[in-house]
């Protein structure tokens, strides 16, 4: 009895609403109009639906999708297949292109049907009304909400075209399992885009929104979904959208689900890109001093707008690098690497750790460890060559001093040991470098002065440099640095001593392909002279030809140079170097304990070789 009374009230209210809009509203001059009242409650911003953002590689191919809690791939009306439109028109609102937001005939028909059944069996909501519920209102069954729905729907029809409303509707409806909109549903259930779907698949998807829980394709072998799919096809034929033959063919087609997850093929690189995106926003939106939470909120806001982050990722090199880290390291060891394209100054590949998963510690950027002798070129040799102009034939005593000489700063000089306590005697600079003797390196730093030597590192912004004791121990590379920082610094050797930072992000564009953000052009900084750079390239090449890196055999023409590094007690192994095309840095270690057992296999060098191979 109560149900019947309720539907009588709805019918009366609906008919009254029609009367109001058609006859009364135009005559009201001294009071606020219905349109003004409804407009005050419509939030136009709500019509902008969040959408998945994507990260694409250097070839424009998507390798990562980001949904920030709402899985939606927004489709403009022009990209929505006609069959999808027909399926929803036939089943949800066959008079959609004729009514003005609500269907009085449909309301009356539903009222009579429900009254005869003595319950709520049929609804009368148009597509516009459903869109209103999805975006502005809720799904409660009250008379007040129903009237609001009618008023909102009418007003929206006055301000938006049918195509715009249908576009919003098909992108806002819920298809279950976290998917909003028909494109996200197609990708979730079939791993295909909507324009790749068959008629049967479209009818199958069209069945779901009516009751996403009951028609969940992943439950009960989709029995309920298939049943409603058949009903969808029947309605499409009744409305003339498909032929009887097409109907029968669709019924015979076997529906095979291919559940997909959001794509993230290279989490090492995508997580790095998201971190770099925050850096980009800080710089371009003048948020350098803003709290991390504020920057995070701004980035999340942008990612909900369906932006595309274009990157320099070389997918083949990335895959080889990740595979190499897994191949070269046992389960209880870790490693990280980064590769820079010298000409473009872009980051083309990065490994953030063995078996890296999204959200893990990014060893390439967030782990700071000693790189040992790989740091000597920057702290010892470059400053010494630049300040003294010494030739590569300059000689040094390679043996520890028995007297432990004192320099003017009262710091002990010459009391360090060489690797394996080597006593090479007098050596040239080239010999000292390629064999990584510690004593000559310390003498160089002592002669230049620690503070002067450190000044050459300022353009590279080594984040932990000020945390270290500023003494001669720095000569041996006792500085906590990241792989990211080392690769950036070493790239200077590829540019005649000039430095500009490399980035992974090329630009960020909106859904229309318009550029939103890209890095400002940064003027190169001359860190050291071309003469010093040429000498350093010779020293680095000696390491590969006849020094500690002689096992590297790239089998390619052109320049190859680098430097090995081992920290105290074999806690870390490292290699940084460059070819004509690429600069790369590699670190290998364990969170606890040494990697001396791995040293004979030279994993850092092997990973580096894979990283830069053409």
Report the SS3 class of residue 336.
strand
DSSP 186-255: HHHHHSS-GGG--HHHHHHHHTSTT-TTTT-TTSGGGHHHHHHHHHHHHHHHHTTSS-HHHHHHHHHSPP
Q: Which letter does DSSP use for residue 174 in this model?
A: B
For residue 605, give the nearest of 377, 376, 382, 374 by alpha carbon: 374
Rounded Cα–Cα distance for residues 307 and 309 (Å):
7
Q: Which letter does DSSP use for residue 20 in this model?
A: I
Q: What is the 3-state secondary structure (H, E, C) of 437-478?
A: CHHHHHHHHHHHCHHHHHHCCHHHCCCCHHHCCCCHHHHHCC
Q: Is-catalytic flag, 511?
A: no
Report the SS3 class of residue 594.
coil
CA gyration radius for the chain?
Answer: 34
| Cβ neighbours of residue 202 closer than 8 Å, sequence gap 6 or more | 81, 83, 84, 87, 194
For residue 239, give the nearest of 83, 80, 91, 77 by alpha carbon: 91
User: Is beta strand 179-180 parallel, antiparallel or unpaired with respect to 71-72?
Assistant: parallel
Tokens read off for 142 = 């009250």
Strand partners, 587: 336, 574
Instruction: Kindly give the interhelix angle for 143-159 and 127-135, rounded to the nearest 10 degrees.
Output: 110
Rounded Cα–Cα distance for residues 133 and 122 (Å):
17
Order of all β-strands in the sheet with 505-509? 62-66, 53-56, 308-311, 505-509, 515-517
| Cβ neighbours of residue 310 closer than 8 Å, sequence gap 6 or more | 56, 60, 505, 506, 507, 508, 509
Give CA 242 to chain center in angstroms. 42
CB 55 within 8 A of CB 270: yes
* Active-site option among 53, 125, 373, 576: 373
Rounded Cα–Cα distance for residues 552 and 586 (Å):
14
* Active-site option among 92, 149, 155, 276: 92
For residue 487, give the nearest of 356, 590, 363, 347 by alpha carbon: 347
Tokens read off for 596 = 């001396």
Cα four-point dihedral sign 121, 127, 128, 132: positive
CB 544 within 8 A of CB 299: no
Q: Give the H/E segment covering residue 154.
A: helix 143-159
Rounded Cα–Cα distance for residues 56 and 570 (Å):
39
Rounded Cα–Cα distance for residues 233 and 202 (Å):
10
Q: Is-catalytic flag, 373?
A: yes
Active site residues per annotation: 92, 373
């Amino acid at each position: 009895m109560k149900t019947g009374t309720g539907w009588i009230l709805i019918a009366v209210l609906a008919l009254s609403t029609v009367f109001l809009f058609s006859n009364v509203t135009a005559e009201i001059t001294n009071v606020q109009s219905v349109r003004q009242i409804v407009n005050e409650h419509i939030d136009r911003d709500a019509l902008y639906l969040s959408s998945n953002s994507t990260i694409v590689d250097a070839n424009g191919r998507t390798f990562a999708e980001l949904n920030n809690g709402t899985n939606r791939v927004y489709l403009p009306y022009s990209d929505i297949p006609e069959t999808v439109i027909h399926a929803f028109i036939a089943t949800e609102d066959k008079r959609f292109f004729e009514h003005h937001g609500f269907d009085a005939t449909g309301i009356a028909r539903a009222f009579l049907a429900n009254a005869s059944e003595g319950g709520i069996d049929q609804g009368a909501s148009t597509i516009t009304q459903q869109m209103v519920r999805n975006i502005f209102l809720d799904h409660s069954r009250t008379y007040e909400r129903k009237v609001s729905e009618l008023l909102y729907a009418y007003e929206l029809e006055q301000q938006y075209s049918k195509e715009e409303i249908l576009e919003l509707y098909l992108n806002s409806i819920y298809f279950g399992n976290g998917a909003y909109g028909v494109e996200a549903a197609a990708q979730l259930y079939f791993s295909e885009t909507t324009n790749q779907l068959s008629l049967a698949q479209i009818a199958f998807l069209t069945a779901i929104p009516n009751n996403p829980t009951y028609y969940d394709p992943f439950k009960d072998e989709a029995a309920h979904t298939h049943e409603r799919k058949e009903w969808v096809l029947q309605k499409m034929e009744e409305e003339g959208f498909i032929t009887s033959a097409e109907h029968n063919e669709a019924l015979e087609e076997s529906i095979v689900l291919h559940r997909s997850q959001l794509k993230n093929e290279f989490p090492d690189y995508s997580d790095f890109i998201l971190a770099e995106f925050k850096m980009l926003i800080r710089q371009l939106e003048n948020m350098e001093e803003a709290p991390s939470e504020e920057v995070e909120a701004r980035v999340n806001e942008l990612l909900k707008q369906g932006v595309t982050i274009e990157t320099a990722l070389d997918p083949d090199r990335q895959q080889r690098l990740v595979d190499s880290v897994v191949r070269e390291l046992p389960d209880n060891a870790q490693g990280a690497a980064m590769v820079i394209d010298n000409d473009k100054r872009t980051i083309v590949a990065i490994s953030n750790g063995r078996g890296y998963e999204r959200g893990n510690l990014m060893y390439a950027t967030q782990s700071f460890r000693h790189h040992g002798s790989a740091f000597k070129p920057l702290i010892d040799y470059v400053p010494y060559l630049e300040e003294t102009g010494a030739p590569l034939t300059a000689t040094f005593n390679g043996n520890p001093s028995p007297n432990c000489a004192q320099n003017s700063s009262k710091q002990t000089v010459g009391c360090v040991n060489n690797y394996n306590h080597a006593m090479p005697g007098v050596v040239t600079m080239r010999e000292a470098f390629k064999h990584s003797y510690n004593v000559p390196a310390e003498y160089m730093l002592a002669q230049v002065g620690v503070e002067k030597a450190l000044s050459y590192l300022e353009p590279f912004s080594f984040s932990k440099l000020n945390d270290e004791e500023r003494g001669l121990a720095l000569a041996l590379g006792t500085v906590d640095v990241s792989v990211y920082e080392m690769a950036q610094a070493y790239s200077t050797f590829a540019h005649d001593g000039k430095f500009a930072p490399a980035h992974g992000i090329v630009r960020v564009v909106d859904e229309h392909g318009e550029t939103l953000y890209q890095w400002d052009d940064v003027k190169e900084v001359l860190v050291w002279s071309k003469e010093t750079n040429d000498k350093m390239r010779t020293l680095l090449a000696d390491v590969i030809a006849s020094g500690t890196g002689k096992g590297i055999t790239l089998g390619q023409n052109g320049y190859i140079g680098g430097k090995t590094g081992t920290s105290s007690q074999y806690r870390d192994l490292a290699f940084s170097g460059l070819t004509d095309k690429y600069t790369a840095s590699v670190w290998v270690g364990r969170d606890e304990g040494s990697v001396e057992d791995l040293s004979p296999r030279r994993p850092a060098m092997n990973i580096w070789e894979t990283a830069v191979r053409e």
